[in-house]
Amino acid sequence: MNEENIITRKINCLRSRYEEKKLKFNDNDMINKNYEEMLDKIEECVKLRNGYKICFILKLSQIPLDIYIIDNMNENDIRRMIKKKNNHNHNNHNNNNNNNNNNHNNNHNNNHNSNILKPFEQLILDHFNIIKILCNKNNINWDTLINTSCKFLSTFLQLYCDNLWLLPYLLTICSFLNNISTLADSYSTCNKNDIYNEENEDINNKNKYTIEVLNSIRGKIGIVKGDIEKHGGFVILMFQSIKLCMKLNNMQITSSFLKIINSTDINYSYIPTSFIVLFKNQLGKLYLQKLEYEKAEREFIWAFSNSKKSKIEFRKIILESLITIRLNKGLYPPKKLLQKYKLSIYIDIIYSIKKGNIFLYNNVMNNFSNYFFHKGLNECIEQIHFIVKRNLMKIVVDWWNKIIQENNQQNKLYKVPIYLFHHIFKWAHITQHHSYLETISIITSLILFRYINAYISYDNNILVLSKNDPFPSLSHNQGPR
């Protein structure tokens, strides 16, 4: 038998508490007394066209009813309840019509209102089936859960195309699919302990459920791409697809996503700002991963400027990305800003850059490499070592020029012997094997990536720097020559 997963453990714990009658209904927990009450709330949401409220009623991260009720219900029970409710509404409307002698148009509207849940029946059934699978007493069948959840997304999108107010729930569904596929893959991988099993060598097999969910979500993008009124759905599906691709480290597919985005004239006027912020932040992360810092910075600035100030943790995530990009440009954030968002980790990095202190920089990287990797900032942060070395070299060059001027040897200004850098690099443990060729290689890299304007005179073993602009502005650094 497969290892019991965290969801099953929690559900069974909840089930035992119910059996002991220790858990009572609490309206604050959004748990409904019965399914009829839940249907009433859904109906009210449909009448009010409230997409945000329906996210709470049809939650996927929390069971909506007493676990005992779910255990003793099936899909047919839900169908009967919906039918009964529609019939009840229909009879009430007929009585009102007989009493009020309404005209033909009103009769048509009343008949429509009496069957208000009919178009939502399959969505409600799919939601129930997902909850039922999650509440299985023994263990979750991941194949069934992922298939049912992907079907749920398809059912929802058919509804969304005629009910654009449902947009917030699309984000709820996609986030659930994203999280549950990750969990499913983690347990699926854990249960394959045979190191000689060839399946364990297949990365696609290890991420089987995530790939299935990605294909399901990205396969729906075409449905909402053409109509500008549905661009809210386009943005959410694209944002989630990019997020899944980055999780799979499949950057090839993300390139095709960027082509679609750039070829689509997205009408943001139909999209709530909070969803655009999520989209822009994810685009920023993608560009950051591709080392396209200018584009990443532009997306992060928009996301940070338009995010709610009350969302401190979310703003902190965006701000960290912006800080790492700007540090590569030699731009330093105010100390008060770092303290406000509890980002003191960057104070040492800033000091190491300003002073060319490679020891301090390496110390930060050794202690916080996992932190930066988890945040997706590792590649951007690692680029800073070039700047630290550049600024260390600047200190050496300034010292050399001062000595030369004191000795009135103007012809040797900005012509620094390589051995000086070699001794400094050895002292700072910048060169791993302390060889002269390593020093040459490091300096060549700094020239190639435009951190310094210079060339190496191999005949004389000196570094000849530009007198006009030996250390160009980092903000103009555009990569290798």
Each residue's pLDDT tens digit, 186-223: 988 765 555 445 555 555 678 999 999 999 999 999 99
Higher pLDDT, 114 or 463: 463
Percent of the chain with pLDDT over 90: 73
Backbone angles phi, psi at 463, to 5 degrees: -100, 120
Q: Which residue carries 């000196």 as its tokens?
A: 462
Q: How far is CA 465 from CA 303, 418, 453, in A?
A: 41, 12, 6
pLDDT of residue 224: 95
Q: What is the mean pLDDT of residues 348-377?
A: 95
Q: Which residue carries 């602009």 as its tokens?
A: 469
Separation of alpha carbons 239 and 241, rounded Å: 6
Each residue's pLDDT tens digit, 265-274: 999 998 999 9
Helix or strand run (H / E) with residue 396? helix 384-406
Which of the residue ranges 12-16, 30-34, 359-363, 448-452 would you say has the lowest mean pLDDT? Answer: 30-34
Higher pLDDT, 23 or 165: 165
Q: How far is CA 301 from CA 132, 269, 282, 312, in A?
A: 43, 19, 12, 15
Separation of alpha carbons 251 and 240, rounded Å: 14
Q: Which of 148, 170, 140, 158 is nearest to 52 (CA)?
A: 170
CB distance 379 to 289 below 8 Å: yes
Helix or strand run (H / E) with residue 463? strand 462-465
Q: What is the mean pLDDT of residues 182-189?
A: 89
pLDDT exceeds cutoff 90 at 33: no
pLDDT of residue 354: 95
Separation of alpha carbons 477 and 248, rounded Å: 30
Separation of alpha carbons 414 and 412, rounded Å: 6
pLDDT of residue 152: 98
Segments making up each domain of the chain, as ranges: 1-140, 385-476
Q: Work out the angle at residue 112's Cα, subtended by the Cα atoms of residues 110 and 117, and round it to the nearest 5 degrees.
A: 120
Which of the residue ranges 82-91, 268-277, 345-354 would you say has the lowest mean pLDDT? Answer: 82-91
Q: What is the mean pLDDT of residues 52-80?
A: 90
Q: Could you count the other beta carbons within 10 Å of the beta carbon of residue 76?
A: 9
Residue 111, classed as helix, strand or coil, is helix
For residue 344, the number of C-alpha atoms closer than 13 Å in the C-beta half-sphere is 2
pLDDT of residue 110: 47
pLDDT of residue 343: 95
Largest CA distance in the chain: 111
Task: State whether the Cα torsion 271-277-278-282 is positive or negative.
Answer: positive
Separation of alpha carbons 176 and 131, rounded Å: 12
Separation of alpha carbons 186 and 173, rounded Å: 20
Which of the residue ranges 152-161, 211-220, 376-385, 471-480 would you say has the lowest mean pLDDT? Answer: 471-480
All residues at 6 or more sequence positions from 15 whose CB lies less than 8 Å from its CB, including other chains:
67, 68, 71, 137
pLDDT exceeds cutoff 50 at 45: yes
CB distance 110 to 132 below 8 Å: no
Task: State whether the Cα torsion 423-425-426-432 is positive or negative.
Answer: negative
Higher pLDDT, 17 or 311: 311
Range 385-476 has CATH code 3.40.50.300: no
Higher pLDDT, 187 or 17: 187
DSSP 125-157: HHHHHHHHHHT-SS---HHHHHHHHHHHHHHHH
pLDDT of residue 197: 53
Each residue's pLDDT tens digit, 111-170: 445 678 999 999 999 999 999 999 988 889 999 999 999 999 999 999 999 999 999 999
Q: Which two tokens stand for residue 314?
A: 């979310």
Q: Which two tokens stand for residue 340?
A: 């406000």
pLDDT exceeds cutoff 50 at 27: no
Q: Confidence class of residue 429 from pLDDT cuts 50, 70 and 90?
A: confident
pLDDT of residue 205: 77
pLDDT of residue 12: 84
Separation of alpha carbons 277 and 282, rounded Å: 9
pTM above 0.95, yes or no: no
Separation of alpha carbons 258 and 135, rounded Å: 39
Which of the residue ranges 264-273, 275-284, 428-437, 441-450 would you say has the lowest mean pLDDT? Answer: 428-437
Q: What is the mean pLDDT of residues 415-424?
A: 95
pLDDT of residue 95: 55
pLDDT exceeds cutoff 60 at 62: yes
State the average pLDDT for the chain. Answer: 88
Separation of alpha carbons 209 and 213, rounded Å: 6
pLDDT of residue 17: 77
All residues at 6 or more sequence positions from 290 whose CB lies less than 8 Å from its CB, including other chains:
251, 254
